[in-house]
Amino acid sequence: MSRSNEKLDLATRAAWLYYVAGNTQNEIAEKLQVSRPVAQRLVAFAVEKNLIRVRVDHQLADCLALADQLTKRYGLAMCEVVPVDDDSVEEIDRKLAVAGAQVMERYLTEERPMVIAVSSGRTLKAAVDQIAQLERPQHRLVSMVGAIAQDGSSNRYDVALHISEKTGGKHFLLPAPLIADNEAERAQWCNHRLYRIVESLSGEADVAFVGIGNMGLNCPLHEDGFLTSDEVRELMQLGAIGEMLGLPIDANGQRIDSPTGRRVTSIWLDSPPKRPTIGFAGGARKRDAVIATLRGGWLSGLVTDEACARAALAAAEGATPDAAQPSTGSRRGNRKAAAAAPSSRQDGAGGLAPPAVARRRHG
């Protein structure tokens, strides 16, 4: 056994003793015949490697109700809503990542070979970082967005690659930049033989995981150098409120025809979806983009936060989303955390139910 595997095994034993058996670090050190500082580092290492999974057994009534209302109002097959309690941006992102990972794992743990199409982005990558290491080499991971940045470097938020590293499955990158220099160049990229192969495989996907981005100066596409300030202003003047796979959409979720948008090489989604298509997004900065995506009918499933869910329902009723404020007092239940793997239950076509977040689905 390699030295790294020996360390993982020892860290796993330490995690079992600490989180399951309830041993102190002194007791762990004695049982594993290591020093107390080493025992402490082993437990920390287990956390770092995502060997520890937290399950919240109590389901928040408010979040359950919100998920139920969203599925009915927007025709979703599944919806996961995480609670918000005066959280910072980073804390909301962390909750979304944990909930998103649980949703992804319901598909990734399947024994039958699957084709999984994914977009890119920070929320999706954070969710993949929370996924436990799996041995599923039979799965194929297909990227729906260009793998090349403007400066020729690889896309660091290429989620398909990261899932492939977690599962051992084959990764198919889209051999093109996210945004071509001009429309003629885009046509060349998209007509390339390798692009067509990936595009065809994407059409066979059993499920798609997609991120939802906001549009504006300092949005992720702008910060990461995919869009210039002038291009962002152009899209905003045309009514862009968000983007999916780099393709701009307006407040009603309709694609915006623009010089910039016509240079995007991403594989387009279907509306309504022809396969389970799950969106992952939350936080105040993405609220309007989430609402637009729901209005456009691009999704069959959504992982979001409580505040975004309330805003989406308010928007559906014609109210101002800003008026939809969560009530923290009524949703504070008794929450029991345990070091345990989430249960595996799958309902219907793509309806997945992680235990750590509220869920509702309709056939």
Q: Buried b / exposed e across 310-345, counting CB within 10 Å, b at 16+?
A: bbbbbbbeeeebeebebeeeebeeeeeeeeeebeee
Residue 140 and residue 257 in one domain: yes
Mean pLDDT for the chain? 85
Question: What is the structure's pLDDT at 322?
Answer: 55
Average pLDDT, integer, range 225-239: 94
CATH code, domain carrying 11: 1.10.10
Which pLDDT band, with edges at 50, 70 and 90, does 242 fall under?
Answer: very high
Q: For residues 109 and 186, what is the distance between their CA atoms, to the nearest angstrom?
A: 36
Instruction: Report the number of distinct structural domains present in the chain.
Output: 2
Q: For residues 308 and 82, what is the distance between their CA atoms, to the nearest angstrom?
A: 10
Average pLDDT, integer, range 244-257: 96
pLDDT tens digits, residue range 141-150?
999 999 787 7
Which of 84-98, 99-113, 179-193 shows the lowest per-residue confidence on average (mean pLDDT)? 84-98
Range of 24's domain? Answer: 3-48
Q: For residues 98 and 47, what is the distance between their CA atoms, to the nearest angstrom?
A: 13
Residue 239 and residue 274 in one domain: yes
Residue 73 and residue 147 in one domain: yes
Residue 103 and residue 29 in one domain: no
- Which range scores top for mean pLDDT: 20-29, 40-49, 194-203? 194-203
Residue 41 and residue 85 in one domain: no
Q: Would you say residue 363 has pLDDT above 70? A: no
Residue 281 and residue 147 in one domain: yes
286 within a domain of the structure (yes/no): yes
CATH code, domain carrying 285: 3.40.50.1360
pLDDT tens digits, residue range 306-342?
999 999 999 998 865 554 554 443 333 333 333 233 3
Question: What is the structure's pLDDT at 344?
Answer: 34
199 within a domain of the structure (yes/no): yes
List CB contacts of 349: < 8 A, sequence separation 6 or more. 77, 276
Residue 76 and residue 23 in one domain: no
116 within a domain of the structure (yes/no): yes
53 within a domain of the structure (yes/no): no
Residue 40 and residue 107 in one domain: no
Q: Would you say residue 225 has pLDDT above 90? A: no
Residue 280 and residue 157 in contact, taking contact as beta carbons nearer than 8 Å: no
pTM of the model: 0.78
Q: For residues 294 and 321, what is the distance between their CA atoms, to the nearest angstrom?
A: 14
Which of 51-60, 306-315, 353-362 shows the lowest per-residue confidence on average (mean pLDDT)? 353-362
